[in-house]
Amino acid sequence: MRRFFSLRRLWTLLRKEIIQMRRDRITFGMMLGVPLLQLLLFGFAINTDPKALPAALVAPTQDRFTRAMVSALELTGYYRFIAPDATAEEAEALISGGEAAFVVTVPSDFGRRVERGDHPQILIEADATDPSVASGAISTLGTVAARALLRETGGEAEAEMREESQLSVVVHRRYNPEGITQYNIVPGLLGVILQLTMVMMTAMALTREIERGTMETLLSMPASPLEIMLGKVLPYFLVGAVQVVVVLVTARLLFHVPMVGALPLVLAGVFVFVMALVILGYLISTLAQTQLQAMQLTFFFFLPSLLLSGFMFPYRGMPDWAQGLGEIFPLTHFLRLIRAVMLKGADAAAVAEQFLALGAFVLLLGALALKRFRRTLD
């Protein structure tokens, strides 16, 4: 008669599960890799108060008052002047292209007005497409600049008394003057939704054939690896097209997100981005043996891409190594592209670098997928 509970039977079942777990190396790697990845990214890479933000300075005179103010801004840690002697045209190109977060404009008669006590003004233009990036730097701007300027003209006690009347800082939040978070989040959601669905569905396409035992029938057909890959990934473009229409229409009608740039440019960027995603999903399907493994590998790619692309947390707030790591994800470049076109009205020349990056992903991932397909299915 079988006993209700046996330690020997339990130990046998435990050994069986441990052996099976060791054989499933992808699942075992996910168990260790995902928690470690989360700890590293959230502990070292994520920063909600970005510092050393790139800025351009437009100052024709470059007198001692201007230099004192610029030095004080740099000492706050928020500003890093990458173009200390830019012209107005160069500064406009830097902020519209996303290379500079701020443009500090000092008028040519700034020094004379300071010496006369004639209420001098400076203009700060901030890239407010992501409101959280500029908020900390702007909050310290007026006080720091005024105190630095007044220390240059007199004693610190005098500076404290005249702080309110000496310097006027005009802040212009460009591209999103009201600081509406939806203008930044909703366009980025298009990339996140496409990445999650396109990569996962395509990754499961080939593993489904393996699990159901129909891969032999597929391989017996007179079709090349390229034809098989295209036959698997192209149908998902229709799914992506439906998602794009839904997100863009909802963004315009429900959230009132502006479409400053050209819609065809947005659609062209979406097309290249979706192509990179479906090929990536196909590459994952050549690595996985089951649909569960395909989902696990998709999640392992999705997590760092979501955190390091600039969607959830400010990209400029991350350390240099994390920003370099974020460059290897297609989502990073797509977010820059769609936000620049929709919110800034960027033209094709302004986002050409992002198109080239996405095109490079398509070629590289396509070559790897074809090579992996031949190696694993021979």
Indicate whether 314 belongs to any domain.
Answer: yes
Residues 163 and 306 in one domain: no
Tokens of 187: 């366009």
Residues 151 and 192 in one domain: no
User: In tens digits, what is the pLDDT along the chain, a chain of 378 residues?
Assistant: 466 677 887 788 888 777 776 776 666 666 777 677 777 777 777 777 788 888 999 988 878 888 888 888 888 888 888 998 889 899 988 888 888 889 989 888 887 887 777 778 888 898 888 877 777 777 767 677 667 666 766 654 454 435 444 677 888 888 988 888 888 899 999 999 999 889 988 888 778 877 777 766 766 777 777 777 777 778 888 888 888 999 999 988 988 898 899 999 999 999 999 999 999 998 888 888 788 888 888 888 888 898 899 888 888 878 888 889 999 999 999 999 999 999 998 889 889 999 999 999 999 998 998 887 754 555
- The pTM of this model reads 0.81
Q: What is the pLDDT of residue 149?
A: 67
Residue 322: exposure state from Cβ atoms within 10 A (0-12, 13-18, ≥19): buried
Residues 102 and 123 in one domain: yes
Q: Please check whether residue 255 is in contact with residue 190, taking contact to mean a CB–CB distance below 8 angstroms.
A: no
Q: How far apart are CA 170 and CA 155, in angstroms?
A: 25
3-state secondary structure of 265: helix
Count of structural domains, the chain: 2
Q: Please check whether residue 128 is in contact with residue 179, taking contact to mean a CB–CB distance below 8 angstroms.
A: yes
Find the domain containing 58 and state its range.
53-174
Domain end (from 148, 174, 200) = 174
Closest CA to 78 of 136, 148, 126: 136
Domain end (from 116, 148, 174) = 174
Residues 320 and 264 in one domain: yes
Residues 122 and 194 in one domain: no
Closest CA to 52 of 29, 78, 28: 78
Q: What is the pLDDT of residue 164?
A: 43
Residues 195 and 314 in one domain: yes
Residues 70 and 187 in one domain: no
3-state secondary structure of 319: coil
Domain end (from 134, 156, 174) = 174
Q: How far apart are CA 3 and CA 224, in angstroms?
A: 58
- DSSP assignment letter at 77: S
Residues 118 and 239 in one domain: no
Q: How far apart are CA 301 and CA 304, in angstroms?
A: 6
Residue 212: exposure state from Cβ atoms within 10 A (0-12, 13-18, ≥19): exposed
